[in-house]
Amino acid sequence: MQALVDGIRHFQQNDFPAKIRLFKRLAKGQQPIALLITCSDSRINPNLLTNTEPGELFILRNAGNIVPPHGLGHGGEEATIEYAILGLGIRDIIVCGHSHCGAMGALVSPEGIVESMPAVSAWLRHAESARRIVAAKYGRLRPPEQAQAAVQENVLVQLDNLQTHPPVTAGLAGGDVRLHGWVYAIQTGEVTGYDAERGLFVPVTDRHPAALPRRSRLATAKAG
């Protein structure tokens, strides 16, 4: 805890004064440019990854960057998505998975999860389609390779789930919302994005991947 307290002291004495104008502006309201849905994993820093300042990203985090389909309980995910679109006018929504994801490892190798972590087991049911896709397409691979394949497939499944939420459905129909699927590689820093035109993940810095078309069922990712 002392490291966190020291960090707050450093922020108050150094970082805050250096950006006092930014924080005074943010005190009047926020205008984020995107909703980023990503994992709770401590190795993911969305602002560092995207080189953004406070106020530029509206961030939703949970284990496995999961979006439960609309109607399966009125949880924080549903409320956050609704507020992002209707309250803040956000047009771009990104689902960002990452390499070495513990949630995806548990998804493809659930042994012991049901007994020891029933809440985690129940949560991962929202990624069941990704597990079945991985079993069908990558069943001959070893569990670590299956887990990595699940990272991409889960991003696509959660984009599908995202499209069941009424504000997203309406936004896609009117051309006011765009959906994007990213995967961040912790070990290399590379970020790939799902290109809807080509049906595969490509480096986002080489060519901006085509956003999802209006309301459509996603194909599974092509094997790289």
* Dist CA 63 CA 154 (whole Å): 12
144 found inside a domain: yes
26 found inside a domain: no
Split into its structural domains, the chain has a count of: 1
**Boundaries of domain holding 199:** 32-203
27 found inside a domain: no
Tell me the pLDDT tens digit for each residue of 129-178. Answer: 999 999 999 989 999 999 999 999 999 999 999 999 999 999 999 999 99
CATH number at residue 56: 3.40.1050.10
pLDDT > 70 fraction of the chain, expressed in percent and rounded: 92
| Mean pLDDT of all residues in 98-126 | 93
* Dist CA 65 CA 38 (whole Å): 4
16 found inside a domain: no
4 found inside a domain: no
Tell me the pLDDT tens digit for each residue of 180-212. Answer: 999 999 999 999 999 988 889 999 987 667 676
| Mean pLDDT of all residues in 27-53 | 97
Say which amino acid occupies 72. L
Task: Pick the closest to residue 90 from 1, 24, 30, 163 (CA basis).
Answer: 30
220 found inside a domain: no
Looking at residue 173, its pLDDT comes to: 95
